[in-house]
Amino acid sequence: MKNKVYIETYGCQMNIADSELVMGILNNVGYDVTRDVHDADVILLNTCSIRENAEQRIHGRLGNLKTFKNKNPNTVIGILGCMAERLRSELVHEKSIVDLVVGPDEYRRLPELIDVVYAGEKGLGVKLSRTETYDDIIPYREDGLQAWISVMRGCDKFCTFCVVPFTRGRERSRSLSSIVDEVKHLSGRGFREITLLGQNVNSYRDEGMDFADLLDSCAKVDPLMRIRFTTSHPQDLSDKLLETIAAHKNLCNYIHLPVQSGSDRILKLMNRTYTVEHYLNLIEKARKIIPGVSFSTDIIAGFPTETWEDHLGTLDVMNKVKYDGAYMFKYSPREGTKSYKMGDDVSEEAKTKRLQEIIDLQQKHSLELNELMINKTEEVLVEGTSKKSTEFLSGRTDTNKVVIFPRSEGIEEGDYVSVKISKVTSATLFGETVAITNKREVPVQAAVQSA
Ligand code: SAH
Ligand code: SF4
Ligand code: F3S
């Protein structure tokens, strides 16, 4: 009987994409993938280290798995991802139930390292690489509508608060041709949306071609395939990139452009390499080049030495940009980063208060922007049944807003429909279907290709 592997993924989209890679690697050497942890011979946790609470969750999960391991001592338990890279052998030494610790650049060695565990040793693979991109590996993906594609790995930006350059190593890009081939393959399987991933996609390079060239090539594969990307760093967002987005209907008019703080002094301490003025000019330029473009951001509250004035600067940027969405965090000191040495001098109370103000303001903006959508007709990609009621369908606009509308005859997952918006909340749009603008043709061979 084949061995079965189960994987649980924490952290960012890059980890989701990596889990698919890992499943691809193990599936190639004969492992079956299972969704049931009780059925697994190998249990893998693909982990995140970005903030303290991300790591706490994993420690908690390992606590649960301990009982499981005691009952099933032959089950292999492995830690992958950023926490594996950050804590390395500490994990196998301190956690007796952990058999395997493998960092993001050593996944090719997983089959061999699992065998090491079966031979009675601990399996450890935590070297970072300057070249590994897994370009030749086909990720294991179930059929669906939406897929992630990593186009680059690592990060060279060294923002002073961030562990990613340490856990994922130096920046490197995959080849443009292999990415385009993957898009073609997914289009053939009936996928309707892909998201190109990198910590800083704007520094994508392949033999003189840049990220705009990559987007252009991907957009041409299938005009009905929506293409998204994340994350853009404000330092290198080029005019060429903005013009490319404007030129293709299927390149979504949505840019995730993390600002982190609205104070030049804090941005400098963060090593973000731009000023508030540069950032706001960029937003203004993008709005001119791509009419109707929407923005989302990441914000950190309570970075070391952040004063009330600095915090007001952040609220001010939010008021000037009016983001469609934001990921908002309390600063979390990470050992080994530069800001760790700056101390963590903003009190927990002040962090909580500032974060709450940021969240409240964002909610207000999201609602205001959504209210502007009332009576507009939007093209929506149908994703499936609404979470709350089977009588409703759910989908997304080009600008990544969730739309709920009544289920009606003939409309299925993967279709494009036009929906007239009638009601909104800060998180969701509600409307009535006007027409099906494009039906998805599900390819007959989909099941075969995914095998
Ligand atoms: N590469 C992306 C984001 C990577 S991490 C970028 O540059 O924008 C996602 C977000 O987590 C960051 O944008 C930041 O807002 C947040 N983050 C990273 N390290 C953090 C820390 N130590 N404390 C709090 N938030 C952090
Ligand atoms: Fe971290 Fe900065 Fe790199 Fe983003 S750009 S991953 S925040 S170091
Ligand atoms: Fe977390 Fe690593 Fe992603 S630290 S956010 S899983 S790159």
Please work out, in degrees rounded to the nearest 5, the angle formed at the alpha carbon of residue 446 by the alpha carbons of 445 and 451: 100
CB of 164 within 6 A of ligand 2: the answer is yes
Helix (H) or strand (E) run with residue 192 in it:
none
Q: Which ligand is nearest to the CA of 11?
A: 3
One digit per residue, pLDDT tens: the chain, 451 residues? 689 999 999 999 999 999 999 999 999 999 999 999 999 999 999 999 999 999 999 999 999 999 889 999 999 999 999 999 999 888 877 778 999 999 999 999 999 999 999 999 999 999 999 999 999 999 999 999 999 999 999 999 999 999 999 999 999 999 999 999 999 999 999 999 999 999 999 999 999 999 999 999 999 999 999 999 999 999 989 999 999 999 999 999 999 999 999 999 999 999 999 999 999 999 999 999 999 999 999 999 999 999 999 999 999 999 999 999 999 999 999 999 999 999 999 999 999 999 999 999 999 999 999 999 999 999 999 999 999 899 999 999 999 999 999 998 899 999 999 999 999 999 999 999 889 999 888 776 554 444 3
All structural domains of the chain, each given as residue ranges with its CATH number in brackets, are: 4-125 (3.40.50.12160), 377-438 (2.40.50.140)
Three-state SS at 56:
helix
- Alpha helix stretches (DSSP H) within 322-444: 348-371
Atom in ligand 2 nearest the alpha carbon of residue 158: 8
C-alpha distances (whole Å) from 54 to each of 48, 50, 80, 103, 325 are 6, 7, 14, 17, 21
Atom in ligand 3 nearest the alpha carbon of residue 10: 6
Q: Which two tokens stand for residue 197?
A: 């991933």
Residue whose CB lies within 8 A of the most ligand 3 atoms, among 16, 45, 57, 82, for a mutation test: 82
Atom in ligand 3 nearest the alpha carbon of residue 14: 3
- Name all residues whose Cβ lies below 6 A of ligand 1: 50-51, 161-162, 164, 199-200, 231, 233, 258, 260, 298, 300, 329, 331-332, 334
Distance 162 CA to ligand 1 centre (A): 6
Q: What are phi and psi of 390, to 5 degrees?
A: -75, -10
Distance 318 CA to ligand 1 centre (A): 17
State the number of CA atoms in the 13 A half-sphere of 2 facing the CB. 11
442: closest CA among 101, 42, 144? Answer: 144
Distance 339 CA to ligand 1 centre (A): 13
Beta bridge pairs of residue 392? 406
Euclidean distance between CA atoms 45 and 9, whole angstroms: 6
CB of 102 within 6 A of ligand 2: the answer is no
pTM of the model: 0.95
Q: Which two tokens stand for residue 296?
A: 């989302």
